[in-house]
Amino acid sequence: MNRVLVLGGDGYCGWATALHLSNAGCDVRIVDSLARREWDQSLGIASLTPIRSMERRLDVWNEVSGKTIGFENGDLLDYDFLSSVVSDFRPDAIVHFAEQRSAPFSMIDREHAVFTQHNNVIGNLNLLFAIKEYVPECHLVKLGTMGEYGTPNIDIEEGFLEVEHNGRKDRLPFPKLPGSFYHLSKVHDSHNIHFTSRVWGLRATDLNQGVVYGTVTPESEMAPELVNRLDYDDVFGTALNRFCVQAAIGHKLTVYGQGGQTRGYLDIRDTVRCIEIAIDNPPEIGEYRVFNQFTEQFSVSELAKLVQSAGAELGLNVEIENVPNPRVELEAHYYNAKHTALVELGLKPHFLSDSLIDSLIAIAVQFKGDVDLGTIAPRVDWRNPSNALPRGSAMVSTV
């Protein structure tokens, strides 16, 4: 039985992963500071689906599955806490989701940018030291992001690039062009993990994940209290979630700019399976590897049209409008990212066209009475971060 520590297990990807690994027979313990719940309160936002307390979630999981997931309430910035958990549990694998994961949050103002980078980079660095000291052969599975690469005008490889320069060749990390202070923090994480793998002999898998969608996994369907998040607001919500909620309430789908921004996407069921595959196929000691974790790619306009078409099947009259883009990003660009490693290891993808209605639009329709329309319009401007939201909003203590 693998002992797996899931950091950030109260969040969207972390919760689904913890349930999936527990159901697969792993001994799972969650570490989470519950900070995301505080950020929601401070920003006046909430998941459209009702999220129970952590205690209730875990009690229900124990009741319906017959399995127990442990829980430690604490922060990765507290090294004494983190090291005590690692030394006590002695995990075979650590799945690291415990970071501030929103690009708009990181662009609100100076305080949010500093908080994001301090929280993410130092928390990850503390984790690397804890692994080195207590469980040096543990496999770190770290959630990265495809946003580290940006949108270069060349094919994106899986982490590394064969380079020839002045007659000499080498295999080097793929160049990074992150688009926010959040994405920059992920780049710093990748560099630190790569460095400690080379110098300390740690082994790590960096999963550069695309945009995740869906609320349903086999485990979350076992009881209503196990439902996952559906974030649609301007800070933590995704464009796809926003479109589905707008379609449900009869609001025009707001496409930022021209809508040509293209990204990789994957179903939450594929996210948890990718984590399981990585754990089941660990790297060698001292090996740092990168998997690009997505299954399809779409432009924002393509997503809007998919939602429009799926909404029509449900009798919804869905219209699309273009609005000014609050972000600084290329809206028409080349995008071709490799993503073969996980498929070669056994991933059998789900596709958006097969699950858009059941896993998103139908759920948005079910809870449409709880939609807060005031949280959808963008409030964070990449060009004027100090004018985006009140200074200090959504900030919490770091330890």
Q: Which residues are catalytic?
A: 145, 182, 186
Question: Is there a contact between 202 and 132 (Cβ–Cβ < 8 Å)?
Answer: yes
Distance (Å, rounded) from C-alpha 194 to C-alpha 124?
12
193 class by beta-carbon count within 10 Å (0-12 exposed, 13-18 middle, 19+ buried): buried
Burial environment of residue 162 by CB neighbours within 10 A (0 to 12, 13 to 18, 19 or more): exposed
Q: How many CA atoms lie within 13 A of 125 on its CB side?
A: 12
Gap between the Cα atoms of 196 and 7, Å rounded = 19
Tokens at 343, concatenated: 């498929």
207 Cβ contact list (under 8 Å, min separation 6):
141, 142, 143, 144, 274, 275, 278, 290, 291, 293
**Alpha-carbon distance 349 to 29, whole Å?**
27
How far apart (Å, rounded) are the C-alpha atoms in residues 13 and 228?
Answer: 9
Question: What whole-number distance in Å separates Cα of residue 322 and Cα of residue 253?
Answer: 8
Measured CA to CA, the distance from residue 77 to residue 56 in angstroms comes to: 26
- Would you state the torsion angle of the CA atoms of residues 266, 173, 289, 298, taken in this order, to the nearest 10 degrees? 10
φ and ψ at 379, to 5 degrees?
-115, -10
- Give the span between the Cα atoms of 292 and 305, in whole angstroms: 26
